[in-house]
Chain A
Amino acid sequence: MAGYLLRRIFQAFLTLIGVSLITFLILFMLPADPARQVAGRTASAEQVEQVRHQLGLDLPLWQQYGRYLGKLTTGDLGRSYVQRSQVSDLVTSRLPATLWLMATAILFELLIGLTIGAVAAFKRNSLLDQSIMIGAFVFVSAPQFLLGYTLLYVFAVWLGWFPIGGYGSLSQVVLPALTLGLLGGGWYARMMRSSVIEVLRQDFVRTARAKGLSRLRVIFVHIVPNAILPIIAMVGIDIGIFMSGIVVVESVFGWPGIGQLTWQAIQQIDIPIIMGVTLVSACAIVLGNLLADLAAPLIDPRIRLK
């Protein structure tokens, strides 16, 4: 187990180095010239070169990358070209909002997905089952901004049940979390349906029924817990999926998380922020996957880590 953990951590480390290298190369290849961007339109060629030197952009690529990694070990992600603030400060000030949104979204997707997935499985091949599965398919495929705007328009503008965007109160998290949750819920519904169908075929279910246990008891004690177990491990992988979703959803709802920060940085070609957020997201994804793998044997003893 300890060996497995060490190996996985080493793999995670390699993954992060790879991500940082690829991101660095891609951003380096952008035709936009950061030195010129910082120096402004009125700057002379010498002024631009001065800024280039200050930013270390006159060094060879491998040296720039080395410098970046060196600073990274001290937690320094550099300074934003546009905002001129420490990227680490910007990211940490935005992270709580994103984590709060993700936690709520995971709650929503599990509630929605597991419930309707189970219902569809028990009513297998009925009209209800087919409607649920089509609905799940629609939500999975819907563009996030479209779903976000629709929810915003219907529930905040038209019905006035929720505030129109913003951050702070409990009521403000509902719509953005629901947007993410409905999309993820679609996946969980499909997985839960097959998982329940799988469990229904098992001998112990037949035994429980044969013992004359009540229908509800069979469902809630014997079927649902066994069906949920393999799915729970998926939550870790969700973190990665959400990382892409939050960029859109946070922008639609004016949610001040790192997704919004990223969107703004991309538009302004603010390379240090794009780089920093990519690394932080990569860490979250790697960590999520690791946790999912570690949790698997705890949930299902048939799985062993080697």
Chain B
Amino acid sequence: MKHLLASASLIALLALGACGEEKKEEAQQAAPAANTTATTEAAPAAAPAATETAAAPAAAEIKQGGSMIVTFKDDLPTLDPAIGYDWKNWSVIKSVFDGLLDYKPGTTEIEPDLAESFETSADGLTYTFKLRQGVKFHNGREMKAADVKYSLERMINPATQSPGAGYYGGIKGFADFQSGAAKDLAGVTTPDDYTVKLELTAPDATTLHLLALNFSFVVPKEEVEKAGADFGKKPVGTGAFKVSEWTSGQKIVLDRNADYYKKGLPHLDKITFEIGQEPVVALLRLQKGEIDIAGDGIPPAKFTEIMNDPASKDLVITADQLHTSYVAMNVTMKPFDNVAVRQAVNMAINKDRIVKLINDRGVVANQPLPPAMPGYDKDYKGYAYDVEGAKAKLKEAGLEAGFETDLYVMNTDPQPRIAQAIQQDLAAIGIKANLKNLDMGTVIAAGGKKDGAPMIWSGGMAWIADFPDPSNFYTVILGCGGAVEGGWNWSWYCNEALDKRMGEANAMTDPAKAAERATAWGKIFTDLMADAPWAPVFNEKAYVVHSKRVQGPNGVFADPIHIPVNYDEVYATDVK
């Protein structure tokens, strides 16, 4: 998952009145922000189902030109596609670089990008990509097959320290290349300048997603070598925008790439990212019309006010995210090694109350997969809130007198308050959970130790899918592979039968079987819930606010892949 850092802990304490006076009819109400609460992190992946979208004019009305200003509190750490793994730089990288494949704007559907077309062999082991001809890097040189091979090798090379390299372990020759035993990556070959052949060690249905993922994006060797480790600050790609200015901590300016291979894109001539603005301040500036997108979203302290303000609420777009917050129970520690205890916890938590606690910025979850993910089983009922049933389960485990345990939680608002609600719910069935409010690093370290943490509330650190495939919710956080020292499977749940079914589902590479595969995956997660290693609590939603001046076709402000927006598709309405 992309690193999430809750930013606005200070501000959450502050009830600042808002009084952004607009000259026109949009007089803002001066109302002190209520003591509202909500999770602060924004999302790297959101679902296509936007519940509200701004009215978009017909394509004919979109004029080329204009600019917009986007604010972020923190600097973008890097724009190196092999390294950037943060929800903010994720979509900027997508506008500066391209991969072989991409997602259709506003959807999770794969489409060719730098590859014009591709073929899959019958055994699912070989993919052949035909490259688009005449695509140029921002430095003017044409992108060719050798660049694709170079980019994949560079990302996998341990010297690059790419946080995404682990995803590509299925490519033939991966281990030899990583260990240095082989000089090049045997699984990627270039029969000619415009053909790339990819060979795998086992069929894997997620391969196409991996080639649409930022880590595999194509970079020009000469620019990487020139910039060295600073390539992330001097990025050169083939994308719709090029980086023309970067002042650390102040601003990043993107200019339109006039040679972009997609005709008519991008719409804007220029995007300026202003760095260092607190989310509350950014929102005030947005209301005054000084900026176009408040990149960090709506801070908790302003949420109710914005949503109740007639002038602002039409500019807020809500999107489901590929995200689940859960309580992980360590199945190797007593008494959570008893499935009845884990089920009791599932039944004891009043999830509706917790969703209210975060101002309804989410929906109640009953399974690990979020509703927007293929494979989500909408007929699955899960464990309903049932205090008596939970007590009965504890009795079944021989623990009707209750027990004492520790609940680990990250110490940034609103997580401790959510954990307190869980603590009260557990107390009602006799479980005395001591809260361990700690910083994120300590909680993650405790979860990665076998006897480190009996219970963890995942909020603030929870999983958000890197790509829209159900496997991304299993391998690292619920599979045997993640149940290792320093791993991310905080339940330490390892079910070899399910791991085997995961392998089978991932081997279903035939696109015609996509629906069957999704169902198979859905079943893995609902069967897993019988063992109840998690108590899923809610799926968080993303909120994006933009000015009236900038618009986009339906869906780009709630794009499942681009947060806060698909920069290529936005246009300004004031272009003459």
Binding site for B on A (CB under 8 A): 30-33, 36, 38-48, 50-51, 54, 79-80, 82-86, 90, 93-94, 97, 145-146, 149, 152-153, 157-158, 164-167, 250-252, 254-257, 260-261, 264, 267-269
Contacts and interface: CB of A to CB of B under 8 A. Distances in A.
B161 A157 contact: no
B312 to A, nearest CB: 15
A271 B563 CA distance: 28
A42 B166 contact: yes
Nearest to A165: B281
B399 interface: no
Contacts of A43: 163, 165-166
B233 A85 contact: yes
A48 B158 CA distance: 10
A268 B276 contact: no
B229 A83 contact: no
Given A31-B446, A254-B277, A256-B275, 18 more contacts: A36-B448, A38-B163, A40-B165, A41-B166, A41-B476, A45-B484, A47-B158, A48-B486, A50-B178, A54-B159, A83-B78, A84-B77, A84-B229, A165-B281, A166-B274, A254-B274, A260-B249, A268-B5
Given A47-B158, A254-B277, A158 B232 contact: no
A82 B79 CA distance: 11
B75 A264 contact: yes
A250 to B, nearest CB: 8
A146 B275 CA distance: 21
B158 A157 contact: no
B3 interface: yes
A93 B163 CA distance: 27
A294 B280 CA distance: 44
Given A153-B17, A254-B281, A33 B486 contact: yes
Nearest to B74: A264
B229 A79 contact: yes
Nearest to B291: A164
Nearest to A97: B249
Contacts of A36: 448, 486
B139 interface: no
A306 B227 CA distance: 52
Given A79-B229, A264-B74, A40 B85 contact: yes
A146 B16 CA distance: 10
In this complex, the member of A42, A82, A254, A257 whose beta carbon has the largest number of chain B beta carbons within 10 angstroms is: A42
B169 A32 contact: no
B403 interface: no
Nearest to B86: A82
Given A40-B85, A84-B229, A252-B278, A32 B445 contact: yes
B441 interface: yes
Nearest to A267: B5
11 contacts: A31-B442, A31-B445, A40-B85, A42-B166, A51-B158, A84-B80, A84-B161, A84-B229, A164-B285, A165-B276, A165-B277
B7 to A, nearest CB: 7
B290 interface: yes
Interface of B: 1, 3, 5, 7, 10, 14, 16-20, 74-75, 77-78, 80, 83, 85, 158-159, 161-167, 169, 178, 229-230, 232-233, 247-250, 274-278, 280-281, 284-285, 288, 290, 440-442, 444-446, 448, 476, 484-486, 488
B85 A50 contact: no
A87 to B, nearest CB: 12
In this complex, the member of A41, A43, A90 whose beta carbon has the largest number of chain B beta carbons within 10 angstroms is: A41
Given A42-B167, A83-B77, A83-B232, A164 B276 contact: no
Nearest to B463: A41
A31 B77 contact: no
A101 to B, nearest CB: 13
A214 B370 CA distance: 82
Nearest to A51: B161
Given A43-B163, A84-B83, A30 B441 contact: yes
Contacts of B230: 84-86
B523 to A, nearest CB: 24
Contact of A42 (B158, B165, B233, B290): B165
A219 B221 CA distance: 72
A45 B486 contact: yes
Contacts of B169: 44
In this complex, the member of A31, A39, A97 whose beta carbon has the largest number of chain B beta carbons within 10 angstroms is: A31
B278 A251 contact: yes
10 shortest interchain CB distances as A-B pairs:
A40-B163, A32-B441, A42-B166, A256-B249, A254-B276, A31-B445, A256-B250, A83-B77, A31-B442, A254-B277
Contacts of A269: 440-441
Contacts of A54: 158-159, 161
A41 B275 CA distance: 27
A250 B285 CA distance: 18
A157 B159 CA distance: 48
Contacts of B165: 40, 42-43, 47
Contacts of B275: 254, 256
A120 to B, nearest CB: 31
Contacts of B274: 166, 254
A94 B486 contact: no
A42 to B, nearest CB: 3
A153 B74 CA distance: 21
Contacts of A164: 281, 284-285, 288, 290
A84 B166 contact: no
A153 B284 CA distance: 9
B249 to A, nearest CB: 3
A256 B74 CA distance: 10
Contacts of B75: 83, 264
A254 B274 CA distance: 9
B234 to A, nearest CB: 11
In this complex, the member of B10, B159, B167 whose beta carbon has the largest number of chain A beta carbons within 10 angstroms is: B10
B248 A256 contact: yes
Contacts of B248: 90, 93-94, 256, 261
A54 B159 CA distance: 8
A139 B473 CA distance: 51
A96 to B, nearest CB: 11
Contacts of B442: 31-32
Contacts of A264: 74-75
A38 B161 CA distance: 7
Given A32-B442, A84-B232, A158-B19, A42 B249 contact: no
Nearest to B80: A84
Given A31-B442, A32-B444, A39 B233 contact: no
